[in-house]
Structures are given as structure tokens and as C-alpha cells.
């Protein structure tokens, strides 16, 4: 047992439970547990239990990518030091093989789950980038996490992605051949061929706590019936790496291209202002804009990799394809390719 706030001590007073699956997670399974007590109260009425996926393919991915170890580590070691709202963790445990795990988390329903396929409003996206600053500011530029065995894994993580991306992208292209434009296929291949330049650019950015999969599917809006505006979930991809990647990832996946273009600069200024208010200095807005342009490719990387690593579903197909195509449009708009050594690309026709 790694972490216990006493919730298990209620066991001898529990008279019944009702369990319902929730969420759309692809690497782990989540359930809402409604609890009845012998004395009618004294404990939480419900909890969320998060467990290792039943899918062998997803289990293998969760183990090899340290997804399960990272989420348990986040709740036990990192979450108490951040200013972003996350579910309270009552219990966290993982086996020595970093595969079988359980989290018992605060149930924040009623809430409105984000949905990347339907997107977010500008106001919701603004709230998300504000909360991103509260994830990033406490450890911004800090060396405290350097050497952490489950979090300071960027170099090995990026090296593996650089090695595997040609194979993954080849599989992705074949699977979705009829749904990708020639221009997207070509830019995707250019990126894959120059992925080392992308990771080299990331190495020059300020490191902090990066969520790593910060997108609408991993947040709750109006939690506890509107009491909590936004809660950030699913910390399986947390890593010591540049925070700006989270911002580009969320904005690029949450807004349609027209809405994003009209509001993107204001959203970036809001994020930067929040960082400054939370004590981050020495990071001018002009540098944020440059780093953000490079980070527009994160949706591409995650979309391609996840499509090849997790169990295939209909929703997954729609999600990963949208991540990749939106990312490539985003990169064209911000001229992201130029920042990783690819020839400058003209922005897409906005007419």
C-alpha cells in the first residue's frame, strides 16, 4: 500500500455497493462506486475506482510506457504541490511489475465531461489554459524533479518515439489512407523524417510538470454541480518536460481551426499572464510564441502513437484521426515546421 487516507477503514461498515463503468479511457478502466453504510453515513457516498485495463494490448502499453506508475506517483508525490484542481486521492497502490494498480479517487459528479470530438468553447479553453499555468508554475524551470525514476524520463521516452515513429506512422497511413489528404500525408512524413529536430527544440525549453495528454477528454467542467469550474484528470502521461506542450495540445485539439485562429493569441497572452502572476519570470511572451509553434506537433505524435499502441475502437479511430489532421493544420498556421529544421511552410489558405 503506497497511500491511504483511511478510506479502507470504513470497510466493516459498508453494507453494499453499486458499480457502474464510466469514462472513455483507452489505457485504464474507471468505475463509479456508490456505497451504502450500516449506520447510514460517515463516509463518501461514492468514489471513482481506476484500474488496469482488461485489454491485453492496453495493459502492455500502460506497463511499457510507465502510465500506471506515473499516475500513482503523481497522486502520491506531485499533486499536493500543484495549484490545479484534481480529484482527491484516498488510496493508491501498484504492484512491483508496474502493471496492476488501483486508485480510489474523489467522485466529482455531477459534472460535464469534456469531449475532444465535439470540442470546447473559447471560454472553456481559456479556463483550461489558465489551469495549465497552475500545473506548470510551481515547478517551472526547477531541477527538483531531475533524476526522478518515473517522471524524468523525457530523454528515453523521446528516443523511443523517434525510433518507433517511422513504423507507427507507416501503420497509421495504411490504416487511414482513404481519410488523409495528400498534403497531410506529406507534412506528416516530413515531420517524422525530422523528428530529431523537434525533440532537440524541446530540450531548449523550460521544464516543469507536464500533463502530457492535456485535452478535453481529460477534464471535467462544472464539477460538483458547478462548484468547481474545471478539474484535470488522467495523469498517466505526466512527465518532467516543457509545459508549453500542454497548451498547444489543448488549444489545437479543443477548437476548430477558424475559432482557434481568431482567439489563439489572446489565449496565449492569458496563459503567459497567469504564469507571471504565479511567480514565473525570465520567460518573455515572444519566447512562448516560438515554443508554442514547435509544440503544435504534439497532437500528431500522440495521435499516431496511440492509434498503434492501444486497443482499436470506433471512437479511437475518430479521435486519433482528428488529432493528427488538426495538428498538421495547426502546425501550418503557426509555421511550426520551420522551428524543427523543415523548410518554412506557408499558412493554410484562410479564405
β pairing state of 239-242 and 3-4: unpaired
Cα(205)–Cα(87) distance, integer angstroms: 29
pLDDT at position 62:
85
Residue 136, Cβ neighbours under 10 Å: how many? 29
Tell me: the pLDDT tens digits for 229-260?
Answer: 999 999 999 999 999 999 999 999 999 999 99
Residue 204, Cβ neighbours under 10 Å: how many? 10
Cα(304)–Cα(191) distance, integer angstroms: 12
Are residues 331 and 300 in contact, defined by beta-carbon separation less than 8 angstroms?
Answer: yes
DSSP E strands: which ranges in the chain? Answer: 3-4, 14-22, 28-37, 46-52, 89-94, 101-106, 112-113, 207-210, 219-222, 228-232, 239-242
- Low pLDDT (below 70) residues in the chain: 1-12, 24-26, 40-42, 343-351
| 3-class DSSP assignment, residue 153 | coil
| 3-class DSSP assignment, residue 161 | helix
Are residues 91 and 3 in contact, defined by beta-carbon separation less than 8 angstroms?
Answer: yes
pLDDT at position 343:
64
pLDDT at position 57:
79
pLDDT at position 42:
65
Q: Which domains does the chain have, with CATH numbers?
A: 3-106 (3.30.200.20), 112-340 (3.90.1200.10)
Cα(257)–Cα(271) distance, integer angstroms: 19
pLDDT at position 8:
47
Q: Which cell numbers in the block locate residue 197?
A: 529536430
Residue indicated by cell numbers 520551420 = 338
Amino acid at each position: 500500500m503506497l497511500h491511504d487516507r483511511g478510506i479502507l477503514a470504513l470497510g466493516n461498515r459498508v453494507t453494499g455497493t453499486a458499480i457502474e463503468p464510466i469514462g472513455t479511457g483507452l489505457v485504464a478502466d474507471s468505475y463509479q462506486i456508490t456505497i451504502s453504510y450500516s449506520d447510514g453515513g460517515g463516509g463518501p457516498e461514492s468514489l471513482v475506482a481506476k484500474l488496469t485495463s482488461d485489454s491485453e494490448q492496453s495493459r502492455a502499453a500502460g506497463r511499457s510506457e510507465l502510465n500506471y506508475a506515473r499516475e500513482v506517483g503523481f497522486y502520491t508525490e506531485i499533486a499536493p504541490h500543484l495549484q490545479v484542481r484534481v480529484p482527491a486521492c484516498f488510496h493508491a497502490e501498484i504492484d512491483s511489475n508496474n502493471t496492476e494498480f488501483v486508485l480510489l479517487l474523489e467522485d466529482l459528479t455531477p459534472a460535464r465531461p469534456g469531449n475532444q470530438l465535439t470540442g470546447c468553447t473559447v471560454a472553456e479553453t481559456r479556463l483550461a489554459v489558465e489551469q495549465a499555468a497552475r500545473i506548470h508554475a510551481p515547478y517551472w524551470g526547477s531541477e527538483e524533479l531531475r533524476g526522478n525514476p518515473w517522471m524524468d524520463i523525457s530523454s528515453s521516452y523521446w528516443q523511443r518515439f523517434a525510433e518507433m515513429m517511422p513504423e507507427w506512422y507507416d501503420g497509421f497511413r495504411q490504416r487511414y489512407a482513404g481519410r488523409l489528404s495528400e498534403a497531410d500525408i506529406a507534412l506528416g512524413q516530413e515531420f517524422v523524417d525530422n523528428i530529431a529536430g523537434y525533440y532537440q527544440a524541446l530540450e531548449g525549453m523550460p521544464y516543469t510538470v507536464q500533463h502530457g495528454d492535456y485535452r478535453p477528454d481529460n477534464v471535467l467542467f462544472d464539477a460538483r454541480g458547478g462548484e468547481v469550474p474545471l478539474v484535470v484528470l488522467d495523469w498517466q502521461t505526466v512527465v518532467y518536460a516543457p509545459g508549453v506542450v500542454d497548451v498547444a495540445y489543448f488549444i489545437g485539439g479543443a477548437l476548430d481551426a477558424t475559432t482557434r485562429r481568431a482567439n489563439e493569441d489572446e489565449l496565449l497572452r492569458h496563459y503567459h499572464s497567469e504564469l507571471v502572476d504565479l511567480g514565473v519570470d525570465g520567460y518573455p511572451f515572444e519566447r512562448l510564441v516560438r515554443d508554442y509553434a514547435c509544440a503544435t506537433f504534439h497532437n500528431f505524435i500522440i495521435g499516431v502513437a496511440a492509434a498503434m499502441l492501444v486497443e482499436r475502437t470506433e471512437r479511437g479511430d475518430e479521435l486519433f484521426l482528428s488529432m493528427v489532421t488538426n495538428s498538421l493544420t495547426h502546425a501550418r498556421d503557426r509555421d511550426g515546421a520551420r522551428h524543427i529544421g523543415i523548410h518554412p511552410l506557408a499558412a493554410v489558405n484562410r479564405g
